Chains A and B, each alone.
Chain A
Amino acid sequence: MATKVEKDSVTGTETTGHEWDGIKELNTPLPRWWIITLWVCVAWSGVYIIFYSAIPGWDGLWEYTARKDVTRQMEAVKADRAKWLDRLADASIEEIGKDSDLLNFAMAGGGAAFADNCAPCHGSGGAGGPGYPNLLDDDWIWGGTLDNIQVTVTHGVRWAQDDDTRITEMPRFGVDELLDKDQINDVADYVLSLFGGGAAAGNGAEIFAENCAACHGESGEGNAELGAPRLSDAIWLYGGDKATIVETITNSRGGVMPAWGTRLDEVTVKQLAIYVHSLGGGQ
């Protein structure tokens, strides 16, 4: 330990007394308040450890954890939403459409529920795919009014566990030998011609009138009450080329949709119906 403070001759600053290969370090001390601030911060960290959940297994004196906080916030949001959900539950689906605030809430809730439950089959944008109806267009197998959509979502389609499910069955004209291959070919040509796709040949019209018109209508206009798709339009659930139509007539089709009434509460289904209706094709 040096007994006398050495001063650097050039700057006049004291040295620390340490020397490395003839190089000496100048002592430029920090202001004392600076170091006091540091120690206050260190002490503060101790306070923090005691009050907050810094030690695993102990929530600290304030018993604050981020998880508890988020739970509390979720409950607050739920309580906040409850008011709206109560109003939604009381209002009829038509009334909701007229109340813009209620409609906005329903649209947001419906959108979220759609993404969670419907998007896997119908697509995140609702555009569907072969076998899964496109919800954006104006063609509805089971009807496109708000009420129709609500019933379809609640009870599903061909969902055996639900007694009120939408159910219809098209005969397997080929497999069950109700029509032979030539007849199926003719009627497929006829179906294609209903929306300007080539000329009908043979006796397709007669076969159609005898076998198909009961459900699909005399000119193929369909029947939403029976779930018989309209054939005289541009929209095809499984595909509009002849091979697919022949396959459909031969084997029949029977897509299934779950009954969401047992999985989702009534208010959520209402919101879903409003959301789907607003996608662009609602009637």
Chain B
Amino acid sequence: MNAIPPSLGDKTAKAVSVDHQPLYADRVRIYPQKVEGPFRRFKWAVLVLLLAIYYLAPWLRWDRGPGAPDQALLIDMPARRAYFFFVEIWPQEVYYLTGLLVLGAVGLFLVTSLFGRVWCAYSCPQTVWTDLFMWVERMVEGDRNARMRLDKGPWTAERIIKKVAKHATWVLISALTGGAWVMYFTDAPTLVVDLLNFQVTGAVLFFILMFTATTYLLAGIAREQVCIYMCPWPRFQAAMFDEDTLTVTYEDWRGEARGKHKAGDSWEGRGHCVDCLQCVNVCPTGIDIRDGSQLECIGCGLCIDACNRIMERLDLPKGLIRLDTVSNQVARAQGGAAPFRLLRPRTLIYTGLLALVAAVMMYGLATRSTLEVNLLRDRNALFVMLSDGTIRNGYTFKIINRARADREFILTVSGIEGATLAVLGGSSGSRAAVFSTRPDQVETYRVFITAPRQSLDGESTDISFVLEEDAMENGENVIQDTVFLGPKR
């Protein structure tokens, strides 16, 4: 690794030199400057794509038949269902959500170990909305220098108008963000009509206002403070890094010793860094990348764009700041080159984990049953002796019909001779019982099995319930093993 760069100590250089020390630091305002280049273009493209997905996804429709919502992505809290295209999740199946989160986490680990902080740089909502809000700021108040001038200057009419316009636009975007968030939890077209008629419930309004407020505060006011002070990810993402991870790197062996450069001066005996501070000025978190890899760096690469423009102008090779690995930097400093290694134990393990979790998830979804049967044996009393000396056991069936159709099931019992089956409020004394289940419902049936005492194997007899779907094709069958208890011989 690099030695501590000499400039690190300069970070707080402008701080107090009088006879008191602050216990609390004022926030250093950041005025990121406009920049153009491939990294900036990529950041814009991802931003537009992600925002488009966020705002448009709730409008996708998916036909699930009558009685079911037709929104492709919907988390229906009151009805306790979550819909994701063809998948419908009940609260009991929350492990799919767990699987999704595990998948997301391992995917993040893999991408981070390969390409560094691309999540922070391009796709984190904090980054996306902060970038959008900074764009608004630049449109209204102008670029870095104009903004700094405006903030230093007096409260003129122009300043007031610009500030009001900026904050109003921010609030508007925040409100749209909050509104779109709620659309994932309720039918989007209905919500829009209700909003236009001022007919939303207090709960909907509360959540819209809450997400409006958090968007405004986090993307407009807090910005890089979220990344530096609030977010846990920068603190442990370094654990996924190794010497082959791409990070935004300043080539200090080429750049130092830095200094101002006049046209015509020789480049002999000095570094290529002309100390123009362009990399600092464009940084959305306000750091100096030349100080080395640091927690505050979100890895967006805007400083690379800025530096390359200067290098181009000076006719020097590009890439004084570049997206590079530590091992390549070490090699380059000595005139060599190290290949970028995609396949490393670390990435292979992450890929393997990712494939494993994905396979388990796919298997789970593919074999997901639309029928679930819970069988509860009566424990109080364990058995009942009837007047004719036969023994009766009680069972409760909970049949979860996840299909959107009426279904009928035929229940039979085996393993005990001469057993008869009775359903509370239904058939009695028969060999089989019929359960009907309504679509998307849990139905509960009480079943009594009565058997002559001589056909029991002592206190406990193994029996099986077979629940057969009464359907022409693709019927589901469930076999439930349980016991039938009786008195001691």
Contact = CB atoms under 8 A, between A and B. Distances in A.
B24 A34 contact: yes
Given A14-B21, A29-B23, A31-B24, A137 B384 contact: yes
A220 to B, nearest CB: 12
Nearest to A2: B19
Given A4-B19, A12-B11, A31 B27 contact: yes
Interface in B1-55: 8-13, 15-19, 21-27
A124 interface: yes
A125 B388 contact: no
Given A12-B9, A280-B392, A280-B448, A29 B25 contact: yes
Interface of A: 1-5, 7, 11-14, 16-17, 27, 29-35, 97, 103, 123-127, 134, 136-139, 195, 230, 233-235, 278, 280-281
A169 B388 CA distance: 26
Contacts of B161: none
Interface in B359-415: 378-381, 384-389, 392, 394
Contact of A137 (B18, B222, B385, B424): B385
B229 interface: yes
11 contacts: A5-B15, A5-B16, A12-B11, A29-B23, A30-B23, A31-B229, A32-B25, A32-B27, A34-B229, A134-B381, A280-B384
A165 B474 CA distance: 59
A186 B394 CA distance: 38
Nearest to A222: B387
B389 A5 contact: no
Nearest to B448: A280
Contacts of B8: 11-12
Q: Which 6 A-B pairs have the closest CB atoms?
A: A12-B9, A125-B380, A233-B387, A127-B381, A234-B389, A29-B25
B427 interface: no
Given A31-B225, A280-B392, A138 B386 contact: yes
Contact of B24 (A11, A35, A123): A35
Given A33-B225, A139-B387, A234-B385, A123 B27 contact: no
A61 B13 CA distance: 51
B17 A30 contact: no
A138 B387 CA distance: 6
B15 A14 contact: yes
A137 B387 contact: yes
B388 A233 contact: yes
Contacts of B27: 31-33
A7 B10 CA distance: 11
Contacts of B394: 136, 280
A204 to B, nearest CB: 21
Contacts of B448: 280
B93 to A, nearest CB: 26
B384 A127 contact: yes
A230 B387 contact: yes
A137 B386 contact: yes
Contacts of B15: 5, 14
A34 to B, nearest CB: 7
Given A4-B19, A5-B17, 4 more contacts: A12-B9, A12-B13, A16-B21, A136-B381
Contacts of A16: 21
Contacts of B11: 12
Given A278-B424, A280-B394, A235 B25 contact: no
A32 B380 contact: no
Contacts of B380: 123-125, 127
Contacts of A35: 24
B163 to A, nearest CB: 19
Nearest to A11: B9
A123 to B, nearest CB: 7
A87 to B, nearest CB: 19
A3 B24 CA distance: 19
Contacts of A7: 9
Contacts of B22: 29
Contacts of B384: 127, 134, 136-137, 280-281
Nearest to A30: B24
Contact of A31 (B18, B25, B381): B25
A123 B379 CA distance: 12
